[in-house]
Amino acid sequence: MSIKLKGSTDGSVTLQAPADTSPTGTDKTFTLPTQDGTDGQVLATDGNGNLSFADDSDTILESNRNLIINGAQQVDQRGSGSSAIGTLTNGKYITDRWNVRGQDNTTGQCSQSTNAPAGFVNSLLIEVGGTATTTGAGGNRFIRHNIEGYVLRPLRWGTAGAKAATMSFWVKSNVTGTYSFCFFSGALNQHYATTYSINSTNTWEYKTISVPGPTSGSFYTENQLALYCQWDLGSGSNFQTSNLNQWASGDKRFASGRVDLFNNANAHLRITGVQFEAGSTATQFEHRSYADELIRCQRYYETTYLSGYSEGHNFNESYPFSTSHPIAFNFIASDDAVAAQSYTFQVSKRNNPTVRIFSAKDGATNQALTYKATGGTDVNHGISVVNTSPTHVMLGTFLGATGQANESYLHLVAESEL
């Protein structure tokens, strides 16, 4: 059977039913959606004849659609292992771009984990430890990923043309219940709080959260902090709201009645496969190579230490530094007692970074292991940051007199987090 649609001029469109090879013939019924889709969407079936509008597959699988950096938790430049998160004032970055805070907790720790769902290798692990505690009204307990204005810009949030977006992730915990998630602007004047459920103990579960684009509020579009993405772990009542699933003014971050993870002794939670993309439908996770993800992370944090070593590590070794592999400078005081050298970063930073210097021998701060003159002994010698830019740092040292020189071995880190 076929249906032919003929226009008023030459040409027609024919809908042709496929040949049915079954002995008795089988009717094929497709049910159309009750409303139109959006521009660019196509009809898709659920396998049972029910049609709905969905994003075209060519659009779904385009690259660079994930606005989250290191969503698979594979990059861990800081190499901090199991890090206490307790009462840190501003939280702590564990895996790159992922900040965790557990205010008033004294036994909790975080680390990069190899426990992950199928298709992933790593996750971010939060462990409460043996002491369950609440926090004060202004306390902060969260997993947070901050998004830069240049990254958020394509969504046009805060304008009349704001686009809908979807957050998706894998999560696993030994504490079931209703958890809270929130988007809030870098200017802290717009928020969108919602919830998700963990239904089974110690089981990887896939979650999606779709959000309409906010047409008001301040969402920066350059190198400032444009958007906080926060998974609440038990923050204080000052940030609580019952106004869910809609954009609202002010700085609120979690739903009332949610799980307070840090008030559960020996609780733990893992998260990975985090994706944030334009559109109201989650797509499959965009896997990026380690090299690609590392470059994105280095815009915010870069280190000369090899993977697995945190800043300030005491290698207790001297030249030729077979384990620590530091960077080296020859400082020469040509016309006065002070000499300077520049180091170019692997990736341009978001802003002028904070640079920290450590001796290649023992990790002493603002020191370099130095050799001076033939047969000279190796000693730590003071090194200072003269100035920084997004592309490089100038380092200076005092050599004591004109015409002096030394060899200096050190490690440095450059940080320009949001």
List the domain boundaries for the chain.
2-60, 83-298, 327-415
Res 97 pLDDT > 60: yes
Identify each DSSP E strand in 199-267 by its residue range. 205-211, 225-232, 240-241, 248-249, 254-255
Query: What CA–CA distance (Å, rounded) separates 370 from 388?
Result: 23
Give mean pLDDT, residues 281-298.
97
The structural architecture, per CATH, of the domain 327-415 is Sandwich (2.60)
Closest CA to 327 of 411, 397, 385, 396: 411
Count CB atoms within 10 A of the CB of residue 136.
Answer: 12
- Of 59-68, 157-166, 238-247, 344-353, which range is least confident? 59-68
Q: How far apart are CA 363 and CA 285, in angstroms?
A: 39
Whole-number Å distance between alpha carbons of 234 and 142: 7
Question: Residue 335: which pLDDT band, with cuts at 50, 70 and 90?
Answer: confident
Q: How many CB atoms lie within 10 A of CB 118?
A: 6
Q: Residue 88 — pLDDT band, cuts 50, 70, 90?
A: low
Which of 56-65, 139-148, 170-179, 409-418 has the lowest average pLDDT? 56-65
Please compute the mean of the pLDDT values over residues 296-306 and round it to a whole number: 98
Position 282: which residue type?
A
Dihedral of CA 310/316/321/327: which sign? positive
The answer on pLDDT for 18 being more than 90 is no
Which pLDDT belongs to residue 60? 46
Mean pLDDT, range 299-315, rounded to an integer: 96
Taking the C-alpha atoms of residue 305 and residue 77, their distance in angstroms, rounded to an integer, is 8
**Tokens 């559109």 sit at which residue?**
279
Q: Can you say how many angstroms the Cα of residue 295 is from the centroid of all Cα atoms in its chain?
A: 13
Mean pLDDT along residues 294-321: 96
CB 248 within 8 Å of CB 112: no
154: DSSP letter: G
> What mean pLDDT is predicted for residues 321-340?
94
Q: How far apart (Å, rounded) are the C-alpha atoms in residues 393 and 411?
A: 13
Whether the bond between 33 and the residue before it is cis, its omega within 30 degrees of 0, is: no
Instruction: State the pTM of this model.
Output: 0.85
The tokens describing 221, both together, are: 């579009």
Residue 379: the pLDDT is: 94
Residues 6 or more apart whose CB falls under 8 angstroms from that of 258 comprise: 177, 178, 179, 180, 195, 232
Give the β-pairing of 92-93 and 99-102: antiparallel
57 has a pLDDT exceeding 70: no
Above pLDDT 90, what percent of the chain? 74
Q: Which of 417, 416, 376 is nearest to 400 (CA)?
A: 376
Q: What is the pLDDT of residue 26?
A: 67
- Mean pLDDT score across all residues of the chain: 91
* pLDDT band of 29, cuts 50, 70, 90: confident
Homologous superfamily, domain 83-298? Galactose-binding domain-like (2.60.120.260)
Burial class of residue 59, CB neighbours in 10 A (0-12, 13-18, 19+): middle
DSSP E strands in 1-88: the ranges are 2-6, 12-16, 41-45, 51-55, 83-84
- Which pLDDT score is estimated for 164? 98
184-199 pLDDT, tens digit each: 999 999 999 999 999 9
Equal fold, 83-298 vs 327-415: no
What gap in Å lies between CA 125 and CA 158, rounded to an integer? Answer: 33
SS3 at position 187: coil
Highest mean predicted confidence (pLDDT) among 227-231, 253-257, 400-404: 227-231
Task: Please say if the pLDDT value at position 58 is more than 50.
Answer: no
More confident residue, 38 or 157: 157
The percent of residues in the chain predicted with pLDDT above 70, rounded, is 89
pLDDT at 4: 60
Looking at residue 354, what is its pLDDT?
Answer: 98
Specify the DSSP element, H or E, that contains 385: strand 384-388
Bridge partners (DSSP) of residue 355 are 414
Give the pLDDT score at 213: 98
